[in-house]
Amino acid sequence: MRKLKYSLLLSLITLLLTGCYDKTELEQQAYVVAIGVDKGEKENTYDLTYQIANPEVGSSITGGSSDEAPFELVTVQGIDFMTATATANSFVAKNITLDHTKVLFVSEELARSESFLRGMQGASRTSEIRRQVNIVVTKEDTRTFIETNQPQLETRPHKYYQLMLGRSTETGIVPQSTIHRFFQLTEGDADLFLAMYATTQGEDDKTEGNVDEYIAGQIPKEGGNPTQFMGAAVFKEGKMIDILNGEETRIALILDNTLDMKDLLVTFQDPINKEYQVAGDLSKKDETKVEVDYKKEGPTKIDVTVPFQLEVLAVPSLIDYTNHKKHREKLKESVEGELQETADALVKKAQEEYGSDPFYWSIYIRSQFKTIEEYEQADWNKKIWPNADVTINFDMNRIEFGKMLKDSDLEEVWD
């Protein structure tokens, strides 16, 4: 009896060993922080680039003595994200893990083709790639992008991406573009998805125009990392169709309630002295009001009101806006007008060129329908949106002037 008891107990212990099926040693993992996807040579294959972080670099434990590179870059051909990791394992010693991927780079060439959406399906099926991962469209092929990208201050790639993406979405020059949102919008089949646009290839600097009227690659600058994040790639039905510049991206973000918008630093023309510009910090504390009056026959009316606040940061013309009510009102009018103009232009472009909207406004019309069938038959993209009568109203409900009451009187200084 006793023997039986012991042998039973022993055999029970083997049960515990089943826990070892899925054991993974930290040491045996190669953590990918960025995946780059390019068009492969053959149809429907992809060149997949994995940027594998080197955890030894930059950690205080090793005392910074390691001379190894902060990351390793491998490119393999494959038809999806997962099987390609196995191919890559023919020359990477560790098990390639996609759990900690922060960014998904897609080359513009691939994004503009139909095979992009096909490839993305794989990303949603595996549980390794998170829905929080951001999609970034790069002008050049992604391998070149990742190679050329040489951040000086933040060499650890995961930290760099986290900070870079976080900060650039905060300033509103690129939109948040998670895989989650990509699928919601693409499968919802009504609105345009905006993805971050970036490049490391500077082209001829654009010198005319406003500070934000650039797309990545056009920003005149000296020094620093060659990488630029600016503007948004526009996706319609899972396919890239155009690029919005920084200013348009901002307007799109302001008009869209589903995207977070922090403070945006913007410049406007000075309404009194047109040679100068006024710089301000634009913030939206309340939601954009979108009122849709759906008409089955005839154009649907869409009324949009954007309440916002402005904190004036710099007035190079030194006109005293602070103390003159008239001047203030003039500034208010001109700022609202300028925003309105840009927004109207963007709406017009979206209606005529894109045939869909980048603001996720289709959700406001849904309450007019009882079933999905009715809603899909009404057809936002083809019937409602292109013919809609859109009026956008910017409403500045507060203006602040920072901690200075007055600027110095230059006349007196130069006297």
Partner 1 sequence: MNTDKTLKTKELLAIILLFIGVKMSDSTAAMFSQHAQNAYWLIIVVSLLVMLPPFFLLLYLLRKFKDKNLIELIEHLLGNFIGKFTGFTIFLLSFALMILDSRNYVEEIKLLYFPESPTASIFYIFIAVCFFGAKRGFETIGVTSWIILPFIKISMFFLGFLILGQITWYRIFPIFGNGLDVILTQGIKKASIFSEFIILTIAYTSFRNTKIFQRGSKIGFALVSFELVFFFLLYALIFDYNSIEKLAYPYHDITQFVNFGDFFTNVETFFMVFWLSAAYLRFIIYLYLIAMIFGYVFNVKEYETLLLPLGFITVTLGLLTENAVINELYLRETLLTISTPVFVLLPVLLWLTALIKGDLKRS
Q: Using CB under 8 A as the criterion, which residues of the chain lie in contact with partner 1 when the complex forms?
A: 15, 18, 21-22, 99-100, 124, 127, 130-132, 162, 166, 180, 183-184, 187-189, 258, 363-364, 366-367, 369-375
Q: Which residue number, 188 or 316, has a Cβ lying nearer to partner 1? A: 188
Bridge-based pairing state of the strands 95-97 and 29-39: parallel
The whole-angstrom separation of Cα 189 and Cα 181 is 12
Q: Which residue number, 372 or 413, has a Cβ lying nearer to partner 1? A: 372
Q: How far is the CB of 182 from partner 1 (least distance, A)?
A: 10
Closest CA to 69 of 52, 84, 81: 52
Q: Which residue number, 131 or 274, has a Cβ lying nearer to partner 1? A: 131
Contact (Cβ atoms closer than 8 angstroms) between residue 36 and residue 49: yes
The whole-angstrom separation of Cα 211 and Cα 408 is 25
Beta-carbon count within 10 A of 298 CB: 8
Q: How far is the CB of 83 from partner 1 (least distance, A)?
A: 15
Q: Which residue number, 267 or 356, has a Cβ lying nearer to partner 1? A: 356
Q: How far is the CB of 354 from partner 1 (least distance, A)?
A: 20
The whole-angstrom separation of Cα 99 and Cα 82 is 11
Element (H, E) at 313: strand 301-314
Q: Which residue number, 35 or 272, has a Cβ lying nearer to partner 1? A: 35
Q: How far is the CB of 39 from partner 1 (least distance, A)?
A: 26
Q: Which residue number, 99 or 379, has a Cβ lying nearer to partner 1? A: 99
Contact (Cβ atoms closer than 8 angstroms) between residue 30 and residue 95: yes
The whole-angstrom separation of Cα 55 and Cα 30 is 9
Q: How far is the CB of 278 from partner 1 (least distance, A)?
A: 33
Q: How far is the CB of 22 from partner 1 (least distance, A)?
A: 4
Q: How far is the CB of 238 from partner 1 (least distance, A)?
A: 12
The burial class, CB within 10 Å (0-12 / 13-18 / 19+), for 208 is: exposed
Q: Which residue number, 167 or 348, has a Cβ lying nearer to partner 1? A: 167
The whole-angstrom separation of Cα 26 and Cα 38 is 30
